[in-house]
Amino acid sequence: MQFGIFTVGDVTADPTTGRTPTEHERIMAMVTIAQKAEEVGLDVFATGEHHNPPFVPSSPTTMLGFIAARTSTLLLSTSTTLITTNDPVKIAEDYAMLQHLAEGRVDLMMGRGNTGPVYPWFGQDIRQGIPLAVENYGLLHRLWREDVVDWEGQFRTPLQGFTSTPRPLDDVPPFVWHGSIRSPEIAEQAAYYGDGFFANHIFWPKEHYIRLINFYRERFAHYGHGTPEQAIVGLGGQVFINKNSQDAVKQFRPYFDNAPVYGHGPSLEDFTEQTPLTVGSPQEVIDKTLTFREHFGDYQRQLFLMDHAGLPLKTVLEQLDLLGEEVIPVLRRELDALRPASVPAAPTHASLLAAKLAAEATATESTATEVAGVGGQR
Amino acid sequence: MTRLVVVSAGLSQPSSTRLLGDRLAEATRKALEATGADPTVVEVVTVELRDLAHDVVNNVLTGFPSPALAQVIEQIGSADALIAVTPIFNASYSGLFKSFFDVIDPELLRGKPVLIGATGGSERHSLALEHAIRPLFSYLHAFVVPTSVYAASADWGAAGAGAAVSERIDRAGSELAGLITRTGTTGPVDPYADVPDFVTLLDPRSA
């Protein structure tokens, strides 16, 4: 089971002081938060990608490359990479380069983005969101698996004899998750490729996501990647922790009440009842997070949103200490104990490389024709 | 069983908008009876949006309904017909009425028989039904019956004028009953019902 944090990278005024950090402060805070995540024993740091204020992370591989140099075990990911408006060729190149620099500690989460004008700013049409996600990812998938690609599609210049460089580390493409909050088509896409499916369910009630995740699991099995229970599922989460439950509520309420996404709407109490948000003691966070498994089945990755709504860096770092010391060890133990042996862990570079080497070893013992089929990209 | 849902955006207690909604539901029930439907199995669910006002605003802000609001939306989705009534404010539907129909799924009312009604201080605002409320439901792909019913304050008083509105209520109810009988039950659209197979998504021409 992987635990980690994901950041939106918003520059938001602290409602308790009125102070807004500069872009530089926010960017460096994100780096500090990522390093802290590794220090407290988390597995994953994922950054969003945005192309408009008040968000800073427009260039995820630059940031993740910098973090890669300052960490040694942390898996670097995205939440999400815009598969609709980025050129899939550039994604292939950028993330393969990052993968080399980070010694394989990289995966990605594809998303369509939630800011309408980004499509026209990058020369695309938002009404083509799903077809763009399908075509662009289809090309990206080939660029990482075929040395020389001839390709023609609807949305980008054709490619003849194109080789994306550098080739993925050890010829093992980074693992890919597909993130969606409402589109069965994206769950279908993740299932087709046998990729992971990440449901960022933090803003909506669980019923909606139970259907979406079950759909992904069934289609994952339909495409022959394993049983529904073996599908690779990631979930969001949002917590604010204090050893004393009432203090957590008191401390977080001004940030909740003014938060960009749900501020000035439902009460903190209603929202925590209706969504995965937990504000309380470490035990309350543990109990609530354990319900995710009951609702969605055994899953592989749990990411928490910790640094948003203007929370100052100092508070975020304290939160990460509590998360790493008091919450994650218990969740790790409980969830690992509950998970049947037949349910795999989330793929990593090491596990994918081992699987590839094992497949190649099996193929070498077989006939030459079969070798061409299995190790065809060489 | 035929299930009617009445959505009333009336604000005062008691509300003349609610009263109009009740009258329209009753007229529809009578008309269904006249067609031979068993009267005991016409169920009417009445929703006062005032009770859900905070939930509606919260849904506008967060993008998801509270459990109470979700239940009402579900009832509308599975109803055989909708009767939607609003007071006229500043030449159009009330903000609460519009906000409610802004947060439902745009597919929820597709093909659903709908009867629209409105209330106001004077009859001068009656065409708001045709200029504002009918286009809203046309956009949502509902079947709106030809007769809409406007009730001004005076309509509830004088016998002569009141008779006119009663006649209109009966006509609108008959039209809605006729539409229900002709169209049958329309359930909500299931987003998972026809997700294309990924091979079709990869190459739409292969479908």
For residue B151, pLDDT beyond 70: yes
Structure token pair of residue A197:
């499916």
For residue A240, pLDDT beyond 70: yes
For residue B40, pLDDT beyond 80: no
Chain B, nearest residue to A215 by Cα: B192
pLDDT at B187: 64
The closest CB to that of A184, out of B63, B195, B204, belongs to B195
- Residue numbers in A near B201 (CB within 8 A): 130-131, 134, 185, 188-189
Please say whether the beta carbons of A316 and A308 come within 8 A: no
In chain A, beta strands by DSSP E: 2-7, 44-47, 75-78, 81-82, 107-111, 149-151, 159-162, 175-179, 196-199, 233-235, 239-241, 278-280, 301-304
Residues 6+ apart with CB under 8 A from A154: A131, A135
Chain A, nearest residue to B68 by Cα: A274
Cβ contact (<8 Å) for B204 and A131? yes
**Chain B contact for A188, CB < 8 A?**
yes
Cβ contact (<8 Å) for B192 and A130? no
Task: Quick: pLDDT tens for A320-369.
Answer: 999 999 999 999 999 999 999 999 999 999 999 999 999 999 988 875 55
* Torsion angle defined by CA atoms of residues A275, A279, A282 and A288, in that order, rounded to the nearest 10 degrees: -10
Q: What are phi and psi of A158, to 5 degrees?
A: -60, 160
Over pLDDT 90: what percentage of chain B?
A: 73
Q: In chain B, what are the domains?
A: 2-206 (3.40.50.360)
**Chain B contact for A265, CB < 8 A?**
yes
Residue ranges of B 3-62 with Cβ closer than 8 A to chain A = 57-58, 61-62
| 8-state DSSP, A165 | S
What count of residues does chain B have?
Answer: 207
Structure token pair of residue A22:
């500069």
CA distance A227 to A197: 15
For residue A378, pLDDT beyond 50: no
Q: What are phi and psi of A180, to 5 degrees?
A: -155, 145
Cβ contact (<8 Å) for A208 and B64? yes
Structure token pair of residue A171:
């010829």
| CATH hierarchy code of domain A2-347 | 3.20.20.30
Task: Quick: pLDDT tens for B73-108.
Answer: 999 999 999 999 999 999 999 999 999 999 999 999
Of A48, A31, A10, nearest to A310 by C-alpha is A10
Structure token pair of residue A353:
């490389």
Cβ contact (<8 Å) for B61 and A265? yes
Cβ contact (<8 Å) for B61 and A211? no
- Residue numbers in A near B66 (CB within 8 A): 266, 270, 274
Q: Which amino acid is at A141?
A: H
**Chain B contact for A203, CB < 8 A?**
yes
Please say whether the beta carbons of B119 and B17 come within 8 A: yes
Structure token pair of residue A302:
């749990």
β-strands A2-7, A301-304 pairing: parallel
What one-character-per-residue DSSP string does chain B give? -EEEEEEE---SSS-HHHHHHHHHHHHHHHHHHHTT--GGGEEEEEEEGGGGHHHHHHHHHHSS--HHHHHHHHHHHH-SEEEEEEEEETTEE-HHHHHHHHHS-TTTTTT-EEEEEEEESSGGGTTHIIIIIHHHHHHTT-EE-S--EEEEGGGGT-HHHHHHHHHHHHHHHHHHHHHHHHH---PPP-TTTTPPPHHHHH-GGG-
pLDDT at B37: 65
The closest CB to that of B58, out of A131, A205, A265, belongs to A265
Q: How far apart, in Å, are the Cα atoms of A353 and each of A25, A41, A145, A347, B100?
A: 38, 24, 14, 10, 53
Of B24, B124, B105, B200, nearest to A208 by C-alpha is B105
Task: Quick: pLDDT tens for B1-11.
Answer: 899 999 999 99
Interface confidence (ipTM) of the complex: 0.81
Structure token pair of residue A82:
């815009």
Which long-range contacts does A24-31 make (Cβ < 8 Å, 24+ apart)?
A26/A56, A27/A56, A27/A57, A27/A63, A29/A307, A29/A313, A29/A316, A30/A56, A30/A57, A30/A63, A30/A307, A31/A63, A31/A66, A31/A67, A31/A70
Task: Quick: pLDDT tens for A289-311.
Answer: 999 999 999 999 999 999 999 99
For residue B201, pLDDT beyond 70: yes
- Residue numbers in A near B196 (CB within 8 A): 185, 188
Task: Label residue A322 exposed, middle or buried (CB < 10 Å: 0-12, 13-18, 19+).
Answer: buried
CA distance B97 to A287: 39
Please say whether the dihedral angle defined by the alpha carbons of residues B119, B122, B123 and B126, taken in this order, is positive or negative: negative
Output the average pLDDT for chain A. Answer: 94
Span of A123-127, A129-133, B199-203 with lowest mean pLDDT: B199-203
CA distance B90 to B125: 9
Closest Cα in chain A, distance from residue B186 (Å):
22
**Chain B contact for A249, CB < 8 A?**
no
Chain A, nearest residue to B193 by Cα: A184
Phi-psi region of B63 (alpha: psi -120 to 50; beta: other; left: phi over 0): left
Please say whether the beta carbons of B81 and B115 come within 8 A: yes
Q: Does residue B14 have a cis peptide bond before it, meaning omega lies within 30 degrees of 0?
A: yes
* Residue B162: band (very low, low, confident or very high) from pLDDT cuts 50, 70, 90: low
Residues 6+ apart with CB under 8 A from B100: B7, B9, B49, B52, B56
Closest Cα in chain B, distance from residue A62 (Å):
31
Q: What angle do CA A331, B67, A264 make, to 5 degrees?
A: 80
pTM listed for this prediction: 0.90
Task: Quick: pLDDT tens for A89-118.
Answer: 999 999 999 999 999 999 999 999 888 999
Task: Quick: pLDDT tens for A161-211.
Answer: 999 999 999 999 999 999 998 889 999 999 999 999 999 888 777 888 999
Paired residues of A291 in beta bridges:
none
Residue ranges of B 187-206 with Cβ closer than 8 A to chain A = 191-192, 195-198, 201-202, 204
Break chain A into its structural domains and give their ranges: 2-347
Closest Cα in chain B, distance from residue A329 (Å):
32
